[in-house]
Amino acid sequence: MRNVAVVISSTRPSRFADKPAKWVVDRLQSEDDVDVDLIDLRDHPLPPFDQAVSPAYAQRDYSTPEVARFGERIDRADAFVILAAEYNHGYTGALKNAMDHTFVEWQHKPVSFVGWGGVGGARAIEQLRLVSVEFEMAPLRHAVHILPDLMLPAMQAPEPFDPALFAALDDKLDKLVADLLWWTEALASARAYA
């Protein structure tokens, strides 16, 4: 059984992120042999990173119990889908701060991206790909971009949210999942022999 973490990168009370989160989690849960861990950064309010040594070197020397709880959760994952809100042409500060508290917990694991916004979160996702390489992750090609044609109707849809509103992107999500699970197996095997 592989653990795939779906990371919600935005924390605003009125966030859109919960809609793609439901769609992506439902899709992953339809896979055999996959445990899905929905990691909501709202549940991990971390202090601004202020340690003397980068976690790349300090390695799980957590500064607070809350940082330890977050780091241990990232450690348990075999792969990630980052749900990427785009703020001012970048990804969210909450996600950057959380990632800066950790390092080896993400290392040698694949990561895929689902974004939304005016250009489907493309600029945030491209930045996250660069940062993922620094974390020695494997950022994958098959992202899903939710553009305004689907985002705006989804924003106005009644609750509970019906993920069928993203059905036009189901093929793209299928491709993302297939590719992510291939890399999940490949890198889990490689880590086992490292």
Min dist CB 13 to ligand FMN, Å, is 10
The answer to whether the beta carbons of residues 143 and 115 sit under 8 Å apart is yes
The yes or no reply on residue 87 touching ligand FMN (CB under 6 A) is: yes
Nearer to ligand FMN, 155 or 190 (CB): 155
The yes or no reply on residue 86 touching ligand FMN (CB under 6 A) is: yes
- Across the chain, the runs of DSSP E, i.e. the strands, are 2-8, 34-40, 79-84, 110-116, 138-139, 144-146
CA–CA distances in Å: residue 70 to residues 47, 73, 100: 12, 5, 12
Q: Which residues contact 110 (CB under 8 A, 6 or more apart)?
A: 79, 80, 137, 138, 139, 140, 180, 183, 184, 187
Where does this chain touch ligand FMN (CB under 6 A) — which range of 12-20, 27-35, 61-69, 165-173? Answer: 12-20
Q: Which of 177, 115, 98 is nearest to 151 (CA)?
A: 115
Q: Which amino acid is at 14?
A: S
The yes or no reply on residue 16 touching ligand FMN (CB under 6 A) is: yes
The answer to whether the beta carbons of residues 140 and 180 sit under 8 Å apart is yes
Where does this chain touch ligand FMN (CB under 6 A) — which range of 81-89, 105-113, 160-168, 171-179? Answer: 81-89
Judged by CB under 6 A, the residue of 42, 89, 141, 191 near ligand FMN is 89
Where does this chain touch ligand FMN (CB under 6 A) — which range of 21-29, 117-125, 128-136, 161-169? Answer: 117-125
The yes or no reply on residue 84 touching ligand FMN (CB under 6 A) is: no
CA–CA distances in Å: residue 14 to residues 17, 19, 88, 177: 9, 11, 18, 27
The yes or no reply on residue 88 touching ligand FMN (CB under 6 A) is: yes
Min dist CB 189 to ligand FMN, Å, is 34
The yes or no reply on residue 93 touching ligand FMN (CB under 6 A) is: no
Where does this chain touch ligand FMN (CB under 6 A) — which range of 14-22, 31-39, 53-61, 74-82? Answer: 14-22
Interface residues with ligand FMN (CB under 6 A) are 10, 12, 15-17, 85-89, 117-119
